[in-house]
Amino acid sequence: MKTQTIKAIFTNLLFSIGVILMVIGFIRGTFTLVNSLMFDKYPLNNYEETKCDSGLPVRAIPLEKGLLEESSLTEEQKQANKQSCINSLEHARKVKQVADITYSFSF
């Protein structure tokens, strides 16, 4: 093969890969922009969205005598658990939004 042919193949290959990455980045960026503008809260995966609705504690609360059963939780403790779950969801939304934005720009 001639040197010119090898240069042309290499240049066209790099150009094609660059165009593909730009298209993927544009699609991801559009997806992130639409999610940010159309929804009140940035959407998470379905299982993450509904984890606070089950009424169960997000994690077991260890005590000296073993795990605390839900029936023995007071109403204040249940509200505190639900509030901490909601706070963790809001934090997860922000983290996912930032991760999506950086992923889109990096492409």
pLDDT in tens, 14-44: 999 999 999 998 999 999 999 999 998 899 8
Evaluate if pTM is beyond 0.85.
no
Instruction: Tell which residue, 58, 48, 49, has the closest CA to residue 80.
Output: 58
For residue 62, the surrounding DSSP H or E stretch is strand 62-63
pLDDT of residue 106: 84
Domain tally for the chain? 1
Q: Which domain holds residue 40?
A: 3-106
Per residue in 57-82, is it b (16+ CB within 10 Å) or e — as a string?
A: beeeeeeeeeeeeeeeeeeeeeeebe
Q: Which residue has the tokens 């593909």?
A: 20
CB within 8 A of 93, min separation 6: which ones? 41, 42, 44
